[in-house]
Copies of this chain bind each other. A is one copy, B any other.
């Protein structure tokens, strides 16, 4: 994908300079080194891409994670956690079956 503009970048650029700049500012504030490192945040973004089922996001944040030094094993483990949370969140909803308000 190198040499090719990301879909979301094309969209914010089409929205005009003001929104494009504001979006990039927010993204860089959120992803910059803070309590968590840039690499940690890239792995978290990768996992969240799986959690929301966005293939384009997986590709983007995989690129960022690799650039920040993440290994394949770290990326795979982060993605596995996302799958687990998807199931666990469903089971939380399913637990409402056990509430006996209607019986």
Contacts and interface: CB of A to CB of B under 8 A. Distances in A.
Copies per complex of this chain? 6
A45 B79 CA distance: 10
B51 A15 contact: no
Interface residues of A, number: 78
Interface of A: 1-2, 6-8, 10-12, 14-15, 18-19, 22-23, 25-27, 29-31, 34-36, 40-41, 43-63, 66, 71, 73-99, 101-103
18 contacts: A8-B92, A11-B76, A11-B94, A11-B95, A19-B26, A25-B26, A35-B76, A35-B77, A41-B78, A44-B78, A45-B84, A48-B48, A53-B54, A53-B90, A55-B93, A56-B92, A62-B97, A82-B94
